[in-house]
């Protein structure tokens, strides 16, 4: 018998097309779409940079560049940049020494204000009006130097090198001194020999013209002006304690029927009559050589706690011996740290109280010899160690009657 081949199934072209179409539909229904992360992300928008505002009330405001990093408020998570970026070489910054919690010093030379680092670098002239100046003080924001010229109180911006008027006491005869409290909220002002303690805020000080105006500003009326048992006290300078509760004043008094200058320490916390007197010197505390002939204290510095540095009056309109007084021990002694020689003026403690800066002029040399600026540890005053003066240009303080009145800027 003959074998039969399997039957052949013949499908038309239309039937094949329909079958293929059905298969593709089935496969497509079983596939899930692939998930892709979004690449569109909102970038944070930085807020505009706001320049710092000075805490010194001035009649005309001056903008200046901030010395602190700009803060951008970012409320979104930053996106890391995965793209390669070009690496920039770091810019080296000049070394600025910090001594005793201070980084800069300002002083007067030939009636102009100058500023420098404590190694003498970056010496910069801040004023150029030739007006006699006094009572230098750093502004509360450390961006300006406050000073007295004639009957006006000014502030010079140390970055913009621009000067503004804080107040002018044009109805007074003398404007002797100005000193801010450590928190910058009060000021001790000596006007026509009278001490006024007033707030250092708002526009009232800008508008003050006389002692009467300061009386109206004062929170404590017995400190504007300062009186003791209803008697007026003549005050030429004042210094604040570190906590702002006490004042050391340079005042006139009478001893053995003669007028003398002495330093008096008073407590101003209670605003009670009479204002408590805590100490008084030299008086009976110690004897200053030459004080019997010239009972004048050229200037004094206070560390804000228990130590005072003061200079007597011997030559060249204010140079004398350097004296140290302790309120804890009620004792004073002559220091003269530069080889035991005279003469000194304008002492100032560093912000942390551990260093003392002063002006020295060698009395053994000719009367027109230049003065130099020193800064040394207080603990080394009696050590006999030799310290080099600040490296300023040769004969920088060339005037024999120079009055630099240095001030140290705190880094705090």
pLDDT beyond 80 at 191: yes
Rg (CA), the chain: 36
pLDDT (mean) for 354-366: 92
Q: What is the pLDDT of residue 255?
A: 87
H or E segment to which residue 210 belongs: none
| Separation between Cα atoms, residue 288 and residue 320, nearest integer Å | 11
pLDDT beyond 80 at 294: yes
Backbone torsion region of residue 336, taken as left when φ is above 0, otherwise alpha when ψ lies between -120 and 50, otherwise beta: left
Start-to-end Cα distance in the chain: 119
155-180 per-position pLDDT tens digit:
999 999 999 999 999 999 999 999 99
Q: What is the pLDDT of residue 388?
A: 94
**All domains in the chain, ordered by first residue:** 120-281 (2.120.10.30), 302-412 (no CATH)
Question: Are the beta carbons of 278 and 285 closer than 8 angstroms?
Answer: no
| Separation between Cα atoms, residue 374 and residue 325, nearest integer Å | 20
pLDDT beyond 90 at 303: yes
385-407 per-position pLDDT tens digit:
999 999 999 889 999 999 999 99
Question: Are the beta carbons of 337 and 389 closer than 8 angstroms?
Answer: no
Residue 85's pLDDT band (boundaries 50, 70, 90)?
Answer: very low
Helices (H), 10-124: 13-30
| Separation between Cα atoms, residue 224 and residue 196, nearest integer Å | 4
Range name among 7-21, 112-126, 168-182 with the lowest pLDDT average: 7-21
334-346 per-position pLDDT tens digit:
999 999 999 999 9
Range name among 71-80, 215-224, 250-259, 283-292 with the lowest pLDDT average: 71-80
Strand partners, 311: 299, 322
Q: What is the pLDDT of residue 365?
A: 82
| Separation between Cα atoms, residue 364 and residue 22, nearest integer Å | 118
Q: What is the pLDDT of residue 201?
A: 79
Helix (H, G, I), strand (E, B) or coil at 154: strand
pLDDT (mean) for 96-123: 96
Torsions phi, psi for 30 (to 5 deg): -85, -10
Percent of the chain with pLDDT over 70: 76
Q: What is the pLDDT of residue 92?
A: 62
Question: Are the beta carbons of 107 and 407 closer than 8 angstroms?
Answer: yes
pLDDT beyond 80 at 321: yes
Q: What is the pLDDT of residue 369?
A: 77
| Separation between Cα atoms, residue 346 and residue 379, nearest integer Å | 19
| Separation between Cα atoms, residue 372 and residue 358, nearest integer Å | 9
pLDDT beyond 50 at 62: no
Burial of 39 (0-12, 13-18, 19+ CB in 10 A): exposed
């Amino acid at each position: 018998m003959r074998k039969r081949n399997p039957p052949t199934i013949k499908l038309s072209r239309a039937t094949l097309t329909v079958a293929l179409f059905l298969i593709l539909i089935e496969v497509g229904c079983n596939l899930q779409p692939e998930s892709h992360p979004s690449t569109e992300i909102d970038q944070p928008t930085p807020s505009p940079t706001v320049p710092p505002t000075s805490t010194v009330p001035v009649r005309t405001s001056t903008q200046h560049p901030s010395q602190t990093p700009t803060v951008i408020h970012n409320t979104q998570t930053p996106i890391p940049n995965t793209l390669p970026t070009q690496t920039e070489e770091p810019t080296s910054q000049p070394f600025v020494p910090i001594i005793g919690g201070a980084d800069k010093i300002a002083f007067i030379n030939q009636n102009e204000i100058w500023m420098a680092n404590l190694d003498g670098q970056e010496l910069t002239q801040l004023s150029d009006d030739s007006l006699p100046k006094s009572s230098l003080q750093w502004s509360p924001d450390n961006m300006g130097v406050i000073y007295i010229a004639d009957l006006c109180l000014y502030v010079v911006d140390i970055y913009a090198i621009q000067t503004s008027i804080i107040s002018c006491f044009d109805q007074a005869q003398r404007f002797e001194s100005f000193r801010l409290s450590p928190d910058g909220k009060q000021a001790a002002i000596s006007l026509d020999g009278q001490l006024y303690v007033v707030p250092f805020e708002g526009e009232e000080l800008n508008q003050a013209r006389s002692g009467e105006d300061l009386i109206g500003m004062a929170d404590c009326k017995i400190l504007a002006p300062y009186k003791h048992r209803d008697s007026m006290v003549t005050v030429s300078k004042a210094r604040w304690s570190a906590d702002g509760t006490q004042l050391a004043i340079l005042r006139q008094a009478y001893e053995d029927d003669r007028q003398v200058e002495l330093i008096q320490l008073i407590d101003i916390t209670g605003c009670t009559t009479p204002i408590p007197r805590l100490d008084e010197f030299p008086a009976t505390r110690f004897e200053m050589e030459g004080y019997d002939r010239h009972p004048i204290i050229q200037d004094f510095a206070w560390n804000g706690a228990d130590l005072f540095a003061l200079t007597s009056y011997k030559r060249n309109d204010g140079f004398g011996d350097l004296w140290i007084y302790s309120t804890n021990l009620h004792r004073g002694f002559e220091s003269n740290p530069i080889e035991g020689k005279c003469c000194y003026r304008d002492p100032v403690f560093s912000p942390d109280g551990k260093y003392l800066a002063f002006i020295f002029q060698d009395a053994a040399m000719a009367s027109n010899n230049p003065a130099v600026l020193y800064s040394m540890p207080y603990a080394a005053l009696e050590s006999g160690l030799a310290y080099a003066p600040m490296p300023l240009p040769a004969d920088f303080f060339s005037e024999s009657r120079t009055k630099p009145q240095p001030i140290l800027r705190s880094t705090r």
